[in-house]
Amino acid sequence: MANPARLIINRWDCLVTDIAADDPVQLLKALIACPSVTPEAAGALDLLDKSLTGLGFAATRLRFEGDGSYPVDNIFAIRGNAGRRLLFAGHTDVVPAGDLSDWAADPFTPREANGKLYGRGAADMKSGIAAFVAAVAAIPADAGTIMLAITNDEEADAINGTDKLMAWAAAQGHNFDFAIVGEPSSATLLGDSIKIGRRGSFSGLITVEGIQGHVAYPHKANNPLPTLARIVAALSDTPIDQGTEHFPASNLEVTTIDVGNPVSNVIPARGTLRFNIRYNDLWTPDTLAEWVRDRIAGVDKGESKVRFEIAGTPSRSFLSPLSADVETLASTIESITGRRPELSTGGGTSDARFIAQHGPVVECGLVGPSMHKADEHIALDDLTGLTEIYRAFMTRFFAGPAA
């Protein structure tokens, strides 16, 4: 672009400088300088609003609240109204920095050293946003339709963020042909992996009610622990499935067993256990709940009252179709890095699960091992490399589906 949009950042503690929209390094530095710990946007969305508006986008600011969570600011930006439609999604919020003594410098003051850029959010995932915006600056405005859905609540509740933002966009008629989430999807080298799906997450709480009593008079009490132990064994020892073509076997982990009993001469009144299942596309939350109930029924002898409940809101698994657009992205990455990316479904959950309800989505971003750690960082060469991947992909994407 001959005259990329420029902007001045002058609120909160964001970097005060003149930023070219096609410079991912300077844009990332400015984003890092916004201490946008969930749900405080701290100027990060203002920065993007100005940058995207300068590139010809119409930006809409949306604040969602309620449903038992805090209010969250979001932004939806769109440029173009014809041709193929590409959505980019991401989040500006970051996790807290933690103990500042663990950092070599202020986590919200971007710092370059030895070819790396340090700061909270550098890897997860302000870098993905900076790379995409910089790449868009090189794409002609009439190439097609480009949309960005950016939330400031992915790291915590994720209730008033991408889920509601995508529902709003759909209600406005903003559909898409393909979507990219800029999460750090690479494992060890830029572009070595893109995520075409994610496992679901299902948490549960099981309570076994007994009768408290003295250990010397067990006939006057009802110890809930033998039943609890049988349930733990039934859940842990029974394979859920054998996996699918693109997903590993679903896995259950018991995460805590509690009785609230600090002494050895009292039979506890009750015991609880919590567990989490990371599951593949063979299951839904409803069918998993039935699987858990069947395991409980198989070992419950009726000696104690057993209660099972789903904890929180389960995250559904999803798998995007292996379309021509996925192939275009993979071949683009290979042409730039010299490596064919692995098509992965590993890791935890992400906001891609909300986008998958509306259309095909993949995750493509930087290397992520330092995310959420002290001295979080990225390699500057990777940032410019990701920008080139996005730019080259958009050029191919808007030229039409791969043959």
The catalytically annotated residue of 23, 73, 124, 154 is 154
pLDDT band at 401, cuts 50/70/90?
A: low
pLDDT over threshold 60, residue 8: no
Q: Mark whether 154 is an active-site residue.
A: yes
Q: What is the mean pLDDT of residues 17-38?
A: 89
Could you tell me if 317 and 279 are in contact, meaning their C-beta atoms sit under 8 angstroms apart?
yes
DSSP H helical ranges for 255-355: 285-299, 324-337, 352-355
Edge-first strand order for the sheet with 305-310 is 251-258, 270-279, 200-209, 305-310
Q: Which residue of the set 93, 155, 163, 388 is catalytic?
A: 93
Structure confidence at residue 14 (pLDDT): 56
Domains of the chain: 6-198+317-399 (3.40.630.10), 200-310 (3.30.70.360)
Q: In the predicted model, what is the mean pLDDT of residues 132-136? A: 97
Residue 327 is among the residues annotated as catalytic for this protein = no
Residue 10 has pLDDT above 70, yes or no: no
Listed in sequence order, the residues at least 6 apart from 171 whose beta carbon sits closer than 8 Å to its beta carbon are: none
Provide mean pLDDT across the span 26-41.
Answer: 96
- From residue 57, how far is each of 79, 95, 297, 364 by CA, in Å? 5, 28, 57, 22
Q: Which stretch of 23-37, 100-114, 192-206, 340-354 has the lowest confidence by average pLDDT?
A: 340-354
Q: Mean pLDDT throughout 318-341?
A: 95
User: 95: which residues sit within 8 A by CB, 6+ positions away?
Assistant: 37, 38, 120, 124, 155, 372
pLDDT digits (tens, 9 = 90+) for 172-207: 999 999 999 999 999 999 999 999 999 999 999 999
Closest CA to 274 of 185, 205, 225: 205
